């Protein structure tokens, strides 16, 4: 060992202390993102991570089974061109305006890396997707939390001077509400930096923000196959926007970021529009039925444009006791012990049968 080795010099300080200092200070200090549980309890009704209760299209299964062969030894198309072409045709964009990610989280990550340097400002509304502050911490960016009002809406255009990147979840999570589009326009026109409209849940809403693309040079719209296409297990997301912004994301992207099978699953899902529309329709119908029942029982339910409801139980029942009571009855929903949202629980919309059990379990916790 070289006599100049800091390892030798620090030897007595021990392993742990030394090793921790290898990480950047922002990484050392931060807390990682905590995903919802993926428990393997038999018989559990899983309404905690907003998965689609219906399977992916049968065409997806066909495409995947046909692709499980020796071609898996080959790298995938680094450009995911087939999938981008299909998305372009479906939504009316040039494939050059589209980029594919290993899940929508990959897309959000690329946006941070392309547009926000260390110490620069990254903004997001709060409460919203809890990954945004984590991505800011990883990048060593300055977090700007923009509060939503009591109805989880944007009250007035916030000050966004110097903000390099703003994430807006539309419809928002965990509230499920649709943010007024006029307010979004006002913010976009004030913004100096890039606005990412994160539309992970938008297929369950009545509107979307794709018409911002082509109108604003600083807007990207991100989408996911996880929820409405029931492909959470395949990891697939996409983003559309001006080619200049897409080009910046493409430089940051891992060149083989999407597997052969995930690309094919996405293509097959897009091809089956009737199946997609039918399952989305069913989820929305169930959502409204659940909302009405909860409201009949005096829950406060926010108007949902997503595949979940965010609901506040009537006193004396608390959200925490509702959550615990459901869990005891093998129904898993999501509850956060966090400011602004601890009075609510978020309930993903399952099949009608699952939601009947959820309602039954809820009714029992009300007694």
Binding positions for its own copies, 240-279, rule CB under 8 A: 242, 244-245, 248, 250-252, 254-262, 265
Of the pair 20, 338, the CB lying nearest its own copies is at 20
Which of 47, 87, 99, 102 binds its own copies (CB under 8 A)? It is: 102
Interaction between residue 41 and its own copies (CB under 8 A): no
Of the pair 75, 150, the CB lying nearest its own copies is at 75
User: Distance between CA atoms of 347 and 354, rounded to whole angstroms?
Assistant: 11
**In 219-318, alpha helices (H):** 243-252, 260-271, 273-296
Which of 47, 106, 208, 304 binds its own copies (CB under 8 A)? It is: 106
Smallest gap, in angstroms, from Cβ of residue 176 to its own copies? 19
Interaction between residue 54 and its own copies (CB under 8 A): yes
Place of tokens 């992207």: 253
Angle of CA points 105, 209, 219, to nearest 5°: 65
User: Distance between CA atoms of 217 and 194, rounded to whole angstroms?
Assistant: 8
Interaction between residue 76 and its own copies (CB under 8 A): yes
Binding residue count for its own copies, defined by CB under 8 A: 96
**Region from 232-240, 285-293, 324-332, 336-344 binding its own copies, contact rule CB under 8 A:** 232-240
User: Distance between CA atoms of 132 and 128, rounded to whole angstroms?
Assistant: 8
Those residues whose C-beta lies under 8 Å from the C-beta of residue 55, and which sit 6 or more positions away, are: 61, 230
What is the x/- site pattern for its own copies, positions 140-179, by CB under 8 A?
x----------------x------x---------------
Smallest gap, in angstroms, from Cβ of residue 27 to its own copies? 5
Smallest gap, in angstroms, from Cβ of residue 366 to its own copies? 29
Please report, as residue ranges, which positions from 300 to 329 form the binding site for its own copies (by CB under 8 A): none
Beta strand 237-240 pairing with 219-224: antiparallel
Smallest gap, in angstroms, from Cβ of residue 13 to its own copies? 11
- Identify the CA nearest to 222 among candidates 97, 308, 341: 97
User: Distance between CA atoms of 270 and 267, rounded to whole angstroms?
Assistant: 5
Place of tokens 């790298």: 75
Which of 44, 85, 91, 113 binds its own copies (CB under 8 A)? It is: 113
Which of 45, 47, 100, 114 binds its own copies (CB under 8 A)? It is: 114
What is the x/- site pattern for its own copies, positions 189-208, by CB under 8 A?
xx-xxx--------------
Interaction between residue 339 and its own copies (CB under 8 A): no
Of the pair 262, 306, the CB lying nearest its own copies is at 262
Which of 12, 42, 43, 65 binds its own copies (CB under 8 A)? It is: 65
- Residues 103/235, Cβ–Cβ less than 8 Å: yes
- Residues 334/48, Cβ–Cβ less than 8 Å: yes
Interaction between residue 56 and its own copies (CB under 8 A): yes
Which of 47, 51, 129, 148 binds its own copies (CB under 8 A)? It is: 51
Q: Where are the beta strands (DSSP E) in the chain?
A: 45-46, 98-101, 121-126, 142-147, 163-169, 194-198, 219-224, 237-240, 300-301, 308-312, 331-332, 345-348
Those residues whose C-beta lies under 8 Å from the C-beta of residue 43, and which sit 6 or more positions away, are: 330
Tokens standing for 122? 């990254």
Interaction between residue 215 and its own copies (CB under 8 A): no
**Region from 88-96, 100-108, 205-213, 349-357 binding its own copies, contact rule CB under 8 A:** 100-108
């Amino acid at each position: 060992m070289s006599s100049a080795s800091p390892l030798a010099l620090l030897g007595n300080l021990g392993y742990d202390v030394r090793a921790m200092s290898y990480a950047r200070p922002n990484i050392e200090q931060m807390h990682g993102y905590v995903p919802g549980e993926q428990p393997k309890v038999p018989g559990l009704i899983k309404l905690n991570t907003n998965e689609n209760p219906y399977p992916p299209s049968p065409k997806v299964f066909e495409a995947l089974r046909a692709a499980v062969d020796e071609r898996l030894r080959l790298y995938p198309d680094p450009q995911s061109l087939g999938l981008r072409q299909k998305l372009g045709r479906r939504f009316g964009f040039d494939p050059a305006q589209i980029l594919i990610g290993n899940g929508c989280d990959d897309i959000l990550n690329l946006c941070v890396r392309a547009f926000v340097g260390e110490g620069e400002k990254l903004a997001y509304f709060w409460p919203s997707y809890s990954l945004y502050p984590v991505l800011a911490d990883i990048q060593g960016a300055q977090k700007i939390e923009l509060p939503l009002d009591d109805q989880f809406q944007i009250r007035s255009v916030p000050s966004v001077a110097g903000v390099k990147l703003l994430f807006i979840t539309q419809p928002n999570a965990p509230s499920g509400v649709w943010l007024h589009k006029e307010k979004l326009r006002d913010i976009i026109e004030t913004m100096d930096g890039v606005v990412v409209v994160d539309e992970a849940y938008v297929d369950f809403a009545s509107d979307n923000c794709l018409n911002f693309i082509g109108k604003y040079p600083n807007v990207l719209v991100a989408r996911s196959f996880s929820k409405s296409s029931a492909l959470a297990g395949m990891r697939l997301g996409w983003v559309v926007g001006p080619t200049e912004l897409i080009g910046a994301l493409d430089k940051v992207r891992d060149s083989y970021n999407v597997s052969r099978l995930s690309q094919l699953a996405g293509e097959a899902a897009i091809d089956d529009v009737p199946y997609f529309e039918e399952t989305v329709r069913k989820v929305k119908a169930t959502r409204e039925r659940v909302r009405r029942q909860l409201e009949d029982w005096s829950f406060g339910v926010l108007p949902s444009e997503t595949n979940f409801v965010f609901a506040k139980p009537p006193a004396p029942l608390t959200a925490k006791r509702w959550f615990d009571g459901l869990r005891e009855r093998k129904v898993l929903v999501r509850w956060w012990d966090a400011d602004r949202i601890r009075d609510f629980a978020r309930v993903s919309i399952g099949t009608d049968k699952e939601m009947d059990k959820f309602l039954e379990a809820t009714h029992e916790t009300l007694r």
